[in-house]
Amino acid sequence: MRIAGNYTFEATREEVWSAINDPEILARTIPGCQRLDEVGENEYETTLKIGLQAVRGVYNGRVKIDNIITPESYEIHVDGKGSNGFLKGSGGIKLRVEGDTTILDLAEVAGAPLYVVHVTNAAAMDAIRQSRERGYAGQIFGETCTQYFFFTKEDLAREGFEGAKWVCSPPFREASDHPALWGAVASNALQVISTDHCPFWFAGGVDGRPAGKELGRESFAKIPNGCPGIEERMMVLYTHGVRAGRISLNRWVELTSTNPAKLFGCYPQKGLVAPGADADLVIWDPEAKHTIRAATNHQATDYSLYEGWEVTGAPRTVLSRGRVLVDAGAWRGEAGAGQFVHRRQFGL
């Protein structure tokens, strides 16, 4: 559960159920009641109303009740199964923006640095941009992920259980957000493009694989949350960003290498090609043609969000501290060759 800003409250069904069965809360809320077993599993709306009263009692009436949870947010627990259930609950942009705005305000007042991850939509991006324009560009930073430029909540509604491949947090939004995100990374309203790489198996639990997305076939709440994408990131951003004229070649490097190194305190050891820096280099072939396939990827998963996509531009050779790790698609590295990087103070 979350308490933020002006004490707006947001909770999942499981969180409310757990909270209202806390003996101390029940004692304060419903005298003599020790457990709400009599509330049926599908009577979530009734449970929610009781739970809100319990939470209101816990927080001494400071919870704002008028924007707590939408009908969609509990509908998914009543009749939603698989990824289609997740689709019904994938709204929440208002709450996301409210949360971002609140933490931005707090960071400004406190003079604290803030790194907002996984920005998915134009409204949240605009809140970050406005904060930076108010004079806080040296302490307020924003990041989006590769997948948010290309997919929408409609991908969650793909036939059968296919939509589970796109289950992640925050969820995908609208196609209308895509141009806003491209504009934000080009204009420096956002400073980093990451992946939030989560290589869950789609068909896990067999042939020695750990359990994966199949865990949620009967309930979206059990779908492992996250998508793979670290291997495809540079290729799809180069093809649809640089070659499409949305971002420059230098900006592509800034967003994916230089800025992350600076913001995470690894610069100038990382993120820089200069004497004294680690020779972490990628030799890029800008004309290489490649078809993305899970079967030929090197990620420990059996699917790709970008399956079948044609890209132009791919890595040819990868070096770490001057040592060749990958060349012409073949692994040349050695186990145990990595070194711990002591991070410094962040900054751009």
Q: Is the pLDDT of residue 12 over 60?
A: no
Measured at the CA of 288, the angle between CA 330 and CA 334, to 5 degrees, comes to 20
pTM to 2 decimals? Answer: 0.77
Give every CB contact of residue 342 below 8 A, 6+ residues apart in sequence. Answer: none
Amino acid making up residue 206: V
Measured at the CA of 21, the angle between CA 20 and CA 25, to 5 degrees, comes to 60
| The predicted structure's pLDDT at residue 101 | 85
Q: Name 282's bridge partners.
A: 318
Give every CB contact of residue 311 below 8 A, 6+ residues apart in sequence. Answer: 235, 236, 238, 239, 289, 290, 291, 292
**Residue 41 — very low, low, confident or very high, per pLDDT cuts 50/70/90?**
very low
Measured at the CA of 273, the angle between CA 269 and CA 277, to 5 degrees, comes to 30
| The predicted structure's pLDDT at residue 64 | 33
% of the chain surpassing 90 pLDDT: 62
**Residue 346 — very low, low, confident or very high, per pLDDT cuts 50/70/90?**
confident
Tell me how far apart the terminal alpha carbons of the chain are, to the nearest angstrom.
Answer: 33
Per the document, the length of the chain is: 348
95 or 187: which leads in pLDDT:
187
> Would you call 289 helix, strand, or coil by DSSP?
strand
Domain ranges in the chain? 2-69, 93-271
Q: What is the mean pLDDT of the chain?
A: 81
Average pLDDT on 40-59 reads 44
pLDDT in tens, 224-261: 999 999 999 999 999 999 999 999 999 999 999 999 99
CATH architecture of 93-271: Alpha-Beta Barrel (3.20)
Average pLDDT on 198-208 reads 94
Average pLDDT on 115-124 reads 93
pLDDT in tens, 69-79: 333 333 333 33
Q: Which helix or strand (DSSP H or E) is residue 281 part of? A: strand 281-291
pLDDT in tens, 304-336: 999 999 999 999 999 999 999 999 989 999 999
Q: Name 56's bridge partners.
A: none
Q: How crowded is residue 52: how many other Cβ atoms within 10 Å of its Cβ?
A: 19
